[in-house]
Amino acid sequence: MSPAACAQQLKALFPALFAGAAKPLKLRIQADIQERAPGQFSKQVLSAFFRRYTGSTSYLIAASKAKHRYDLDGAEAGEMSEEHRQIAVQELARRRANHEAVRAQEMAQHAQEEEQRRSRFNLLRAFETTTLTPANFCALKGVAMEELDGLLALARKEAEQRALQAPAPHRSGPPGNREQREPRDNRGPRAEQRPGQRPGPRPAGPRGEPRRDGRPPKAGPR
């Protein structure tokens, strides 16, 4: 039986203790399990399970705060000693310090890799615009001749990857879907004609001159 299968069976048999949040275990809990469920678990299986269970971060957090231990029925079964609480606290502190150290190392490595990529990009840009010979260019940049081609190839590959990952420019819609404006001739007159108005352009002339339609001119302001 694997430790995972053992955990599932213990949850089914003793849900008050093993289901839900982790609880500090009663001392010599394995003997109680063998008594309550004889022949279902070997000593080796239980030992492997409890090494994993009591070493989990959730169990250590519970042990660092608890005042009591618990039996198979979820009832209090003895006090949690200060010594055992401190052991849990110290182990949690050690794990936290290790986690922070790993995270700091990963961040430093990421920063170093980013700086190297930036350096290769600048090298490629300078090489594409230089008028120097490769030998003089390498001497100026402090790069070994045998490393130049590899650095430039890697810089070009990284530039292509950045171009593929760059977001596309935002557009409100494809040009083909934009509403086409109709020509003026197909849209009809600008406004409806007044009742009784003759079609066609309105004749006009200088004020005071006879109109082309034969009507007298309008009197101007006095």
| 75-115 residue pLDDT tens | 999 999 999 999 999 999 999 999 999 999 999 999 999 99
**Structure-block tokens of residue 171:** 């557009």
Sign of CA dihedral 116, 117, 123, 126: negative
CA nearest 117: which of 167, 164, 161, 79?
161
Span 112-161, pLDDT tens digits: 999 999 999 999 999 999 999 999 999 999 999 999 999 999 999 999 98
* Sole residue written with tokens 């009809």: 188
Dist CA 125 CA 185 (whole Å): 56
Domains of the chain: 3-80 (1.10.1710.10), 98-165 (no CATH)
pTM: 0.56
- Given a cut of 70, whether residue 185 has pLDDT beyond it is no
Once rounded to an integer, what is the mean pLDDT over residues 63-76?
94
CB-CB contact of 45 with 1 (8 Å):
yes
Dist CA 130 CA 121 (whole Å): 14
Q: What is the pLDDT of residue 210?
A: 54
Sign of CA dihedral 63, 67, 71, 75: negative
Dist CA 62 CA 76 (whole Å): 14
- Given a cut of 90, whether residue 65 has pLDDT beyond it is yes
Q: What is the pLDDT of residue 45?
A: 92
Residue 206 pLDDT level (bands cut at 50, 70, 90): low
Dist CA 24 CA 80 (whole Å): 8
